Amino acid sequence: MNRDTVNILCKLFDLDEKVVKFVHSKEKLICNKFEEIDQIKEYNQYKVINSMQEAKLSSTDFNWTTGYGYGDIGRDKVEEIYASVFNTEDALVRPTIASGTHAITLTLSGLLRPNDEFISITGSPYDTLQKVIGVKGDREGTLLDYGIKYKEIPLKDGEINIEEVLNNISRNTKLLLIQRSTGYSDRKAITIDHMKEIIKKIKDKNNDVIIMIDNCYGEFLEKLEPTEVGADIMAGSLIKNPGGGLALSGGYIVGSSKLVEEVANRHTAPGLGKDCGLTFGTTRNTLQGLFLAPHVVSEAVKGALLVGIVYKELGFEIVPEIDDIRSDIIQAVKFNCPDKVVEFCKGIQSASVVDSYVTPIPWEMPGYEDKVIMAAGGFVDGSSIELSADGPMRKPYYAYYQGGLTYEHCKLGVMKTLNNLYTKKLIKKLS
Ligand SMILES: *Cc1c(COP(=O)(O)O)cnc(C)c1O
């Protein structure tokens, strides 16, 4: 790092020079990992370009219609391109899907009928989904309330417990849910290789059961996506990885035609399915974001590695480890202390471009059981492919870091977190 850069960082961002130099010295330890990340980026970039060309994307696809939205060509192109990128028969991609939780909820409620059972085979699902299912919070309107049966099978040593899964599949088991990303837990993301092996074992024994993936934060981390190793249907958020920071809102569902149709019928109405629904002029952002997504994801992954190495070198436990295969963009740091989580998140907020001057505090976010602190100063509100961090206020006090549209921004974020912890004396020594 040259002198000019050190100077501008210290001068413009109020950073202690020791912090800047510390982060820079640790960066050197991960540079050798960047080549592999770049290879995955390059591969996925070509995949996306090809899908857009194959769909004959044209400038008129960025126009939009009104009313029912019949014949919204741009919307249909977006869905064709998503299906192609994720190698599935069909896709539902809509700005009216409010979030990842909504996309997953639509998928579950579109596919499951009363008395059907579904099993989460990666342990407890993401916080907001527990309320959707009905295992936390009010029962009214939840899947359990609709007579759907639910079980979960915890991971064993961080991996799917295949024996238990196979023993638990019964005649009523309609669907198995795999959450790829760590969520607010202390486990690693499920890798594509592991998924492939598990799905094969399940399908060999029971070919009818639907394998569904919560792919939030997983897109473009590896060369293959879960739907390319046997998953039947998958859902995610456009304000995470595949939106590339440009999508304004939305969610996607990709999978076989039959399953996507059932989900589309739930999204609009039976009989209407995918044929209705406006895109409100969002197709340009959605697709330009998808075009940039492999690149943006690679920047975010490099940022996650930097957070990982810096805090590991300071003696904190991190998940995943530096040498683990990354299958999501999250870097968790175990702080064992609420103040450190708060100061870490304040650091990320202060590095943001939007709302850098506000101070995040833990609050009762809708859908979450514990208070959560969120640092999110994105161009798109709540977008966590942009530089962001959060942590539920519960033991053992993990901070979860993710996103960053450019690696430089990630680096500034890391420096701001460390500067905060250091000047507040929550970290004594930088060595
Ligand atoms: C973010 C996330 C969700 C929910 O997405 P929202 O857009 O926040 O509703 C679900 N599952 C996982 C693993 C996530 O990371």
Q: How far apart are CA 28 and CA 34, in angstroms?
A: 11
Ranges under pLDDT 70 in the chain: none
pLDDT for the residue numbered 330? 97
CB atoms within 10 A of CB 55: 20
Strand partners, 19: none
| DSSP characters over 281-320 | T-HHHHHHHHHHHHHHHHHHHHHHHHHHHHHHHTT-EEES
Pocket probe for ligand 1: among 181, 185, 249, the residue whose CB has the most ligand atoms within 8 Å is: 181
- The SS3 call for residue 368 is coil
Q: HSE-up of 215 (CA within 13 Å, CB side)? A: 34
- Cβ neighbours for 388, distance < 8 A, ≥ 6 positions apart: 348, 374, 375, 376, 377, 378, 401, 402, 403
- Cβ neighbours for 77, distance < 8 A, ≥ 6 positions apart: 55, 57, 61, 283, 287
Please name the residue whose Cα sits nearest to atom 2 of ligand 1.
216
Q: Is residue 181 in contact with ligand 1, taking CB distance under 6 Å?
A: yes
Q: Which atom of ligand 1 is nearest to the CA of 182?
A: 13
Query: Over the stretch 118-143, which tens digit does the pLDDT of each residue have?
Result: 999 999 999 899 999 999 999 999 99
Q: Is residue 99 in contact with ligand 1, taking CB distance under 6 Å?
A: yes
Centre of ligand 1 from the C-alpha of residue 327, in Å: 15
Q: Is residue 184 in contact with ligand 1, taking CB distance under 6 Å?
A: no
Q: How far apart are CA 31 and CA 36, in angstroms?
A: 10
pLDDT for the residue numbered 1? 75
Q: Contact 328/218 with Cβ under 8 angstroms?
A: yes
Q: Which residue has the tokens 């890391």?
A: 414
**Domain covering 3-43+291-423, topology:** Aspartate Aminotransferase, domain 1 (3.90.1150)
Strands 149-152 and 173-179, sheet pairing = unpaired
Q: How far apart are CA 312 and CA 212, in angstroms?
A: 34
Q: Which atom of ligand 1 is nearest to the CA of 217?
A: 15
Q: Contact 90/256 with Cβ under 8 angstroms?
A: yes
pLDDT for the residue numbered 90? 98
Exposure string for 245-260, b = 16+ CB within 10 A, e = fewer: bbbbbbbbbbbeeebb
- The SS3 call for residue 155 is coil
Q: How far apart are CA 265 and CA 113, in angstroms?
A: 14
pLDDT for the residue numbered 359? 95
Residue 93 phi/psi, 5-degree rounding, is -130, 110
Pocket probe for ligand 1: among 240, 248, 327, 380, the residue whose CB has the most ligand atoms within 8 Å is: 240
Per-residue three-class SS string for 53-94: HHCCCCHHHHCCCCCCCCCCHHHHHHHHHHHHHCCCCEEEEE
Centre of ligand 1 from the C-alpha of residue 215, in Å: 9
Please name the residue whose Cα sits nearest to atom 12 of ligand 1.
216
pLDDT for the residue numbered 365? 84
Sheet holding 251-255, edge to edge: 90-94, 251-255, 233-237, 210-214, 173-179, 117-120, 149-152
CA-to-CA dists, residue 357 to 268, 299, 352, 372, angstroms: 41, 24, 9, 19
> Which residues in the chain are classed under CATH 3.90.1150.60?
3-43+291-423
Q: Contact 135/150 with Cβ under 8 angstroms?
A: yes
Q: How far apart are CA 176 and CA 162, in angstroms?
A: 12
**Domain covering 65-280, topology:** Aspartate Aminotransferase; domain 2 (3.40.640)
> Which residues in the chain are classed under CATH 3.40.640.10?
65-280
Query: Over the stretch 90-105, which tens digit does the pLDDT of each residue have?
Result: 999 999 999 999 999 9
Q: Contact 143/150 with Cβ under 8 angstroms?
A: yes
Per-residue three-class SS string for 224-268: CCHHHCCCCEEEEECCCHHHCCCCCCCEEEEECHHHHHHHHHHHC
- The end-to-end CA distance of the chain, in Å, is 18
Pocket probe for ligand 1: among 214, 368, 402, the residue whose CB has the most ligand atoms within 8 Å is: 214
pLDDT for the residue numbered 332? 97
